[in-house]
Amino acid sequence: MKNTKSTPRFAVCIDNSEYPASLELHKIYRVISDAEAQADGDIRIIDESGEDYLLPADYFIPIDLPQTTAQALNKSFAQPAASA
């Protein structure tokens, strides 16, 4: 049986009011499972720098993505950003 209590691997930002310079509304962020953070009402996300941060969980909506989409996102996150 699948554990429905596990932290999703991705979440969409729905509130950046306290962190407008750090969070982009409607952006998909990677999530790191962190039971202690979850118990405190927080979520651990990875930003575009590759660093992880604790933020209020209610700033995000967890999303389940099709496996192929999750794999494509994980692969793209692993690639260096293209320079402009």
**Total domains in the fold of the chain:** 1
In this prediction, residues 25-52 reach a mean pLDDT of 93
Q: What's the pLDDT score for residue 1? A: 38
pLDDT (0 to 100) of residue 55: 96
Query: Containing domain of residue 51, as a range?
Result: 10-78
> Cα torsion at 47, 26, 79, 21 (round to 10°)?
-40
Closest CA to 43 of 32, 68, 67, 74: 32
Domain CATH for 61: 2.30.30
Under the phi-then-psi rule, with left for phi > 0, alpha for psi from -120 to 50, and beta for the rest, what region is 2? beta
**Region 56-76 average pLDDT:** 90
